Structure 1
Amino acid sequence: MSASSPALSSPPFASALRAAREAAGAQHYPQGALYVVATPIGNVADLSLRALHVLALADAVACEDTRHTQALLRACGLDRPAAQMIAVHQHNEAEAAQQVVQRLRQGQRIAYASDAGTPAVSDPGARLAAAAHQAGLRVVPLPGASSVTAVLSVAGAVADDGGFVFEGFLPAKAGERDARVQALAQEPRAVVLLEAPHRIATLAQALAPLGARPLTVGRELTKQFEQVAVMACEAFAGWLAADAVRSKGEFALVLHPWSQAQAAESGEKLLALLVKELPLKTAVRIAAEASGGSRNVLYELALRMKKDSD
């Protein structure tokens, strides 16, 4: 370990720290490198042995919230002085990145951790990694916990040839949020969404127009009261309202892809109703946006419907 290594305490992580040294200590950890460390999203036992070793080895720890990360370090049996903690968050990332780069150029090993999960996905860290790359410095990933991969792993929503899209948090403004949902209605792949408890009811209302499209809701993933439920988008708001506890905690969600058959069937049913009340092009546009079906196919179908009704 480096001369600036933190003090090590005993339980409950003393055996884990020994295991981390034995399992990960033989690997080379170059100086002057930024180590991007995934940290638990709720369950501290999900911290990897290699992450634990690097958090002990690093000359300093850069993090989204120094108080939060210091609490994690202490829970793991590590205790660092304030001088070895560097705040790098969304409001100061560009400026703080230069401070980190300066330390890296001095040969220090710097570990970076966001408040939970893998940095630089929906949390800060991307600008820091980019600054290190631009300075010609090494950036080393330490993979681990992520709400994105956690919810995907239990959703059963990614086909072998489909992949997925990471959307993250939808816009806070209603108009922008609704526009994004309309765009997602056209996305043929699975879509991962994130949301905070104070906005989850708003998200549920925004997704309701997607109707029967399947949705996996992951709440408090990896924590004691973890909950995973699959439902139609139109049922999500009612599911939340049925139990006040369901609106608490952090959320990771997967909007499932619709098969072409499902999209076509849904689009045809909706189109049959719309062509009776709206101009043909308007009816086709709404049916395509709501179902994710092909606009060209629905347009041809609408022409036939109009012809049959005349």
Structure 2
Amino acid sequence: MTDPTPGILYIVATPIGNLADISFRAVETLNQVNLIAAEDTRHSKYLLTHYQIATPTISLHEHNEQQRSDVLLQKLQAGESIALISDAGTPLINDPGYRLVTRVIEAGIQVVPIPGCSALIAALSAAGLASNRFAFEGFLPPKVFARQHTLQQFIHETRTLIFYESPKRIAATLQDCQQIFGPDRQATLARELTKIHETIKTAPLAVLTEWVTNDLNQQKGEIVLLIAGAPAAITADEQAMQQLLTLLLPEMSVKKAAAITAQWLSVSKNAAYQLALKLQQK
């Protein structure tokens, strides 16, 4: 007798607030699998009931993931397909599931993502901060000293920083950010995304801190905090180019000033030309 064909583990993203944000494919998958592994079956019941999904559920959270992964792996090996969902958003993004997915991959079983909502991506898309490079760091430490120590490590980080934060700590965290990154650093508070009281505000840290401290409504709900990256450090070559171009540009064209700078300093002609354009626009 041959072994059964293994099932598939589907990683299914669910809404982060507004139930209408689920995809057709996600609903179809949740209906077709044999079992749904949910972070909290009581919480997920509302979503499943709303879409009339009657598939059986089983819990998988941070406290039982190790043991529950054994059970789910056996079911997959027996040919059953399983959907993994979290309380909200994309599973594994600051949620349980990493150990299960690792075990399933090691067993040679297919893992299929069903993409959808993610609070950090939704916040980044509407923040107005640089989005080509960013670093997601999950929740900051709850204790003041540990939180400040963690933030200190990002002083020179040029990527946009993204954190999740508790509403109970957001005012204190913003005060720490203002102290460490400076009052003028741009930041975004994205709160209760896709829900009735959704708030997205981008402002200098000093302004954002004062606003949240004085408005208790902004200290409620689920929060994503984004901090603009630090300005990139100027290299020695860039500094030398800037000094020479500042002298040359009042006397000649951008193209000629860039050519002389590139030849004199043995740097890229294109780099010198691009910097000359920026300096001319100031």
- The two structures have a TM-score, normalised by structure 1, of 0.70
CA distance in 1, matches of 2:225, 2:58: 32
CA contact (8 A) 2:157 2:230 kept: no
CA distance in 1, matches of 2:88, 2:189: 19
Tell me the equivalent position of 1:11.
none
Q: How far 1:186 moved relative to its partner?
A: 1.6
Q: How far 1:46 moved relative to its partner?
A: 0.4
Matched, 1:105 2:77: yes
Matched, 1:203 2:173: yes
CA distance in 2, matches of 1:245, 1:134: 46
CA distance in 2, matches of 1:127, 1:202: 33
CA contact (8 A) 1:70 1:79 kept: no
CA distance in 2, matches of 1:124, 1:85: 16
Tell me the equivalent position of 1:154.
126
Matched, 1:172 2:142: yes
CA distance in 2, matches of 1:107, 1:261: 55
Q: How far 1:31 moved relative to its partner?
A: 5.6
CA contact (8 A) 1:36 1:142 kept: yes
Identity percentage over the alignment? 40
- The two structures have a TM-score, normalised by structure 2, of 0.77
Q: 1:47 aligns with which of 22, 33, 36?
A: 22
CA distance in 1, matches of 2:76, 2:201: 44
Q: How far 1:219 moved relative to its partner?
A: 0.5
Q: 1:67 aligns with which of 42, 51, 61?
A: 42
Tell me the equivalent position of 1:93.
65
* One-letter amino acid matched to 2:170: I
CA contact (8 A) 2:185 2:227 kept: yes
- Unmatched segments (≥5 aa) in structure 1: 1-29, 263-310
Q: How far 1:243 moved relative to its partner?
A: 1.7
Matched, 1:190 2:157: no
Tell me the equivalent position of 1:132.
104
CA distance in 1, matches of 2:14, 2:193: 14
CA distance in 2, matches of 1:89, 1:118: 14
- Unmatched segments (≥5 aa) in structure 2: 235-282
Q: 1:58 aligns with which of 10, 26, 33?
A: 33
Deviations, residues 79-129 of structure 1 (Å, cap 9, x unaligned): 34xxx2111001111111111101101111100000000010111111111
Q: How far 1:261 moved relative to its partner?
A: 7.9
* One-letter amino acid matched to 2:137: E
CA contact (8 A) 2:44 2:87 kept: yes
What secondary structure is seen at the aligned counterpart in 2 of 1:184? Answer: coil
Q: How far 1:208 moved relative to its partner?
A: 1.8
CA distance in 1, matches of 2:164, 2:31: 31
Q: How far 1:60 moved relative to its partner?
A: 0.5
Tell me the equivalent position of 1:37.
12
CA contact (8 A) 1:208 1:236 kept: no
CA contact (8 A) 1:208 1:235 kept: no
Q: How far 1:258 moved relative to its partner?
A: 3.1
CA contact (8 A) 1:207 1:234 kept: no
CA distance in 2, matches of 1:188, 1:220: 27
Matched, 1:239 2:211: yes
Q: How far 1:237 moved relative to its partner?
A: 2.6
Alpha-carbon RMSD across the aligned residues, in angstroms, is 1.7
Tell me the equivalent position of 1:270.
none
Q: How far 1:202 moved relative to its partner?
A: 2.4
CA distance in 2, matches of 1:106, 1:49: 27
